Amino acid sequence: MLRVCVCVSGGGTNLQAIIDAIDAGKITNAQIVRVISNNKGAFALERARGKGIDAVAISPKDYADRELFNEAFLQCVDEAEPDLVVLAGFLVVIPPVMIQKYERRIINIHPSLIPSFCGTGYYGLKVHEAALARGVKVTGATVHFVDEGTDTGPIILQKAVEVLPDDTPKVLQQRVMEQAEWQILPQAIDMIANGRI
Ligand code: GAR
């Protein structure tokens, strides 16, 4: 059984997609052992607790500096003894020491077709605002391994989504989630859990 630790910052719809895929048998040989949020008010924590999943909030605001937060965050991950760490809308930079310790064991979902609209400053709605500003006709989502760069690690899965003429950033974000993110993130976890990557 693959032990999965999911890190979140907000609404947690990708976390929900993972939970639902496990319940539906679309992800096999995996269990969520802990959900960690840097944001105490994240609805994702309620989703986890509602399912009886261990859910922990650990905020940088409660630490004197970034280094102390990073140490506490890594300890919080280590305690869960995960085989895989999933960044599902986690808006905190992963400390290099953790990336080395969990090499090829951290994956991230990004709401564009990397290498478009990714890297520093591209997160959440900003990604979709940039895609609409550039006038692309196709966007999508990417699941990739996390390395020391921002959105630079090896790509695992991508799925394209059409941009429609009247799209607003929010409308496009919702379509990318429904048609791409909520499918390829669970799919990637199932592939890893079953030794297909
Ligand atoms: C998702 O769209 C995810 O791809 C994005 O944040 C959103 C979180 O939504 N992540 C990034 O932008 C990372 N660079 P959720 O909390 O409902 O899953």
Per DSSP bridges, beta strands 2-8 and 55-57 are unpaired
Cβ atoms of 181 and 15 within 8 Å: the answer is no
pLDDT at 108: 98
pTM of the predicted structure, to 2 decimals: 0.97
> Using CB atoms within 10 A of its CB, is residue 181 exposed (0-12), middle (13-18) or buried (19+)?
buried
**pLDDT of 52-78, one tens digit each?**
999 999 999 999 999 999 999 999 999
Is any atom of ligand 1 closer than 6 Å to the C-beta of 114? no
For 159, other C-beta atoms within 10 Å of its C-beta total 16
User: Quick one: which atom of ligand 1 is closest to the CA of 91?
Assistant: 13
pLDDT at 181: 98
Is any atom of ligand 1 closer than 6 Å to the C-beta of 181? yes
For 118, other C-beta atoms within 10 Å of its C-beta total 21
* CATH architecture of the domain with residue range 2-193: 3-Layer(aba) Sandwich (3.40)
Mean of the per-residue pLDDT values for the chain?
Answer: 97
Question: For the chain, which residues make up each domain, given as ranges?
Answer: 2-193
User: Quick one: which atom of ligand 1 is closest to the CA of 118?
Assistant: 14
Alpha-carbon distance 2 to 192, whole Å? 8
Report, as ranges of residue numbers, the positions in the chain whose pLDDT lies below 50: none
Residue nearest to atom 7 of ligand 1 (CA): 89
Alpha-carbon distance 29 to 3, whole Å? 9
Q: Which of 21, 86, 74, 16 is nearest to 46 (CA)?
A: 16
Q: Is 110 a catalytic residue?
A: yes
Note the helical H segments in 93-164.
96-101, 125-134
Is any atom of ligand 1 closer than 6 Å to the C-beta of 140? no
